[in-house]
Amino acid sequence: MKKLKVFFSQPMRGKSEQQIRENRKQFWSVFQPECAKDLGVLEEELELIDSILSEPDAPTVRLLAKSIEMMQEADIVVFLPGWDESRGCKVEFDVATKYKVEMRLRRIYYF
Q: In the prediction, which pLDDT does 62 show?
A: 92
What is the value of pTM for the model shown?
0.87
Q: Domains, the chain, ranges and CATH?
A: 4-110 (3.40.50)
Q: In the prediction, which pLDDT does 37 show?
A: 92
Query: Residue 104: left if φ>0, alpha if ψ -120 to 50, beta else—which one?
Result: left
More confident residue, 57 or 34: 34
pLDDT digits (tens, 9 = 90+) for 16-52: 889 999 999 999 999 999 989 988 999 999 999 999 8
d(C-alpha 106, C-alpha 100), whole Å: 8
Contact 42, 79 (CB under 8 A): no
